[in-house]
Amino acid sequence: MTPSVLSNPLRPAILAAARSARVKSAVTRAPVTKSIVRRFVAGETLADAMAASSTLLAAGRAVSIDYLGEDTLDPAQSRDTVVAYLELLAELGRLPQVRDAVVRPIEVSVKLSALGQGLPVDGEKIALDHARTICAAAREHGAAVTVDAEDHTRTDSTLAIVRELRADFPWLGTVLQAYLRRTEGDCRDLSGAGSRIRLCKGAYREPESVAFRSRADVDASYGRCLAILMRGDGYPMVATHDPAIIASVDDLVRETGRGPDDFEHQMLFGIRDLEQARLVDAGRRVRVYVPYGGQWYGYFMRRLAERPSNLTFFLRSTLTRG
């Protein structure tokens, strides 16, 4: 039987730990925790995020910075998140950069649920208005914005908000998850001129009715979706650490004639650093997803729980930067 993408035997325990205040307290206080987490989360403060981003930019990589947080049901918290992004963008705007670059080296990633999308009254409008504020600040400071994907129940709402925002911010990117059965169609709809699509495998536990469950099916879906994006007129962002998928990009580049400014690879902060450097040396654009903020615990635990391969990557990366 093909292994399921949800077959990590430790997944239930890891997800339970992610929800437990007692476990969180124990884990976050353990001396070894901070040294491990700091490999995958830039830190809790804006200064931490700026330090990590400056190092990556100096190494020839682009960055996409995520102020951690999601699923807020508190209007004040959603406003605080906007303020945090405005402060982040102001700091990023002070970094030396080529303002007229074909592809902006600095970017922020935003979850609409952190901006109030799930609020019971006018949640979508609030998230739209908050996202518009962030996009306007990004434009002012020479940055880009990508809207993150969340669970499948938010996909229609998220893509509707993205389409509305693109009327004023045509460079706005969004994320599609290859494990959703609908994504091949979404790739066709969103692969037009000017689109920026980050294609990832998927991070949420979804029912089989809406998502592929086996690793082979997810990989096959990723391949089909990536081919659609690479053959389209937009700007594909290949978000994966999978060596086989990364290798497959070469054939698509030759087929489509895409140059180094026509697509990019994306990887998570702290994972496969040597591969990131290899791709940069080979002339590829690499963008690193840099998470930071006080809500790192849930992000870190969910990453471990996603699938065995991610757990292996994290554990291996504690021993080697390859």
Tokens of 142: 């020479």
Q: Which residues, in sequence order, are CB contacts of 40 under 8 Å at separation 6+?
A: 268, 269, 270, 271, 291, 300, 303, 314, 317
End-to-end CA distance of the chain: 30
Angle of the 296-305 helix axis to the 308-317 helix axis, nearest 10? 120
Active site residue 19: no
Strand positions, DSSP E, the chain: 62-67, 106-110, 144-147, 173-177, 196-200, 235-239, 264-268, 286-292
Phi-psi region of 281 (alpha: psi -120 to 50; beta: other; left: phi over 0): alpha
* Rounded-to-integer distance, Cα 259 and Cα 160, Å: 30
Active site residue 148: yes
Q: Which of 198, 215, 272, 303 is catalytic?
A: 198
Q: Which of 61, 66, 104, 148 is catalytic?
A: 148
**Catalytic residue positions?**
148, 198
